[in-house]
Amino acid sequence: MWAICWTAADHDTGFHDHDVSRGAVRVARGAIRHERLRLDGTGTEHSSELVEERHTFSFDETHIHCMRYEPRAGRTVTIHAYSPPLERTGQYANGDDGLLQPGTDLLGRALTPHLKYRPEISHVSGS
């Protein structure tokens, strides 16, 4: 389990996955901006929602998302639980061509996503 305190206007996780772990996030205080990406054979779906205090969301091992500090919410605290325990995450970023590119995990290892990654359909436009 992790507890994260969100206080800085530029605090966000960047788009990432949780490798083979499933998880849930509970907003204990404040609110958080939760953005999700879905990559499939038909294109990329991007959605964003405000998750408020005392609300929870869960995800499976195919989930790619980003969590951002919501300035209007003030200090925010989120509780994160993972199963199996989180050992590896993968970071994603927009390349110079605007396509979403897999990066590395927190130890600098190249990502090898277990979901089907197709760069030609993996475009994220303005948030």
Closest CA to 1 of 125, 107, 84, 103: 84
Name the helix (H) or strand (E) containing 110.
none
Question: Model-level pTM?
Answer: 0.76
At the second CATH level, the architecture of 2-119 is: Sandwich (2.60)
User: Any idea which residue has 């995990």 for tokens?
Assistant: 105
Give dist(CA 48, CA 126) in Å, integer.
Answer: 12
54: Cα separation from own chain's centroid: 19
Two structure tokens written together for 36: 């999700």
For the chain, which residues make up each domain, given as ranges?
Answer: 2-119
pLDDT digits (tens, 9 = 90+) for 19-71: 899 999 999 999 999 999 877 666 677 889 999 999 999 999 989 999 999 99
